[in-house]
Amino acid sequence: MTWFVLIVSWAIVGQHIWATRDHFVSEKMAPGAMVLAALVIGSTVVFSALTFFGERSVAAAAVGIVIELASVALFWAAIIASRRARLLFAFDPGLPHGLLDSGPYRYVRHPFYTSYLMFWIGWAVASWSAWTLPLLALLIAFYVAAATGEERKFAATQLGPEYQRYRHRAGLFWPRLPAVVRHQSVHE
């Protein structure tokens, strides 16, 4: 099971690297993106070592793999929904030029970050080590910083009012509950 967890996890990291190079259109990586890339590489090494040398239950590994595979499904749904949108990479200083609200973007504003978070949570569960928690917290902080930075950039464009309405419909990383969305819509 150890090798299965490692191979699946490495394959997913490879998909994320592919997206960085071939899906997103930023001309160069911003300093924040370089730090995030280093954090991902470092986390991959640490999570790999913890997975290889640690002891875990088969159940934890299976649950972690299921979470990782769910992250892959969301990742590819986001790729399909955004393939023509020419999205910028995390921390790119450029302003957004369009608003996506199809595919997983109907439910969450940042499905790529959600898929990355799901992946790291899944690998943390699969490795079953408390040593993953500090890195997981750091990764979460970086993805939240990237997402909130992108949200601020939308406010600086003509898309600001439309994006504000979109924020009421779609959650940051997790879908909004329909009852909450309906309640907010009634009181606006």
Q: How many residues does the chain have?
A: 188
State the alpha helices, DSSP H only, in 54-177: 58-82, 111-127, 132-155, 160-169
Name the token pair of 173. Answer: 């990383």
What global pTM score does this model have?
A: 0.90
Q: What would the pLDDT profile of 106-132 be if each residue is shown by its tens digit? A: 999 999 999 999 999 999 999 999 999
Q: What would the pLDDT profile of 48-88 be if each residue is shown by its tens digit? A: 999 999 888 999 999 999 999 999 999 999 999 999 998 99
Cβ atoms 50, 127 nearer than 8 A: yes
Residues contacting 137, CB < 8 A, separation 6+: none
CATH topology of domain 2-186: Four Helix Bundle (Hemerythrin (Met), subunit A) (1.20.120)
User: Hey, where are the domains in the chain?
Assistant: 2-186
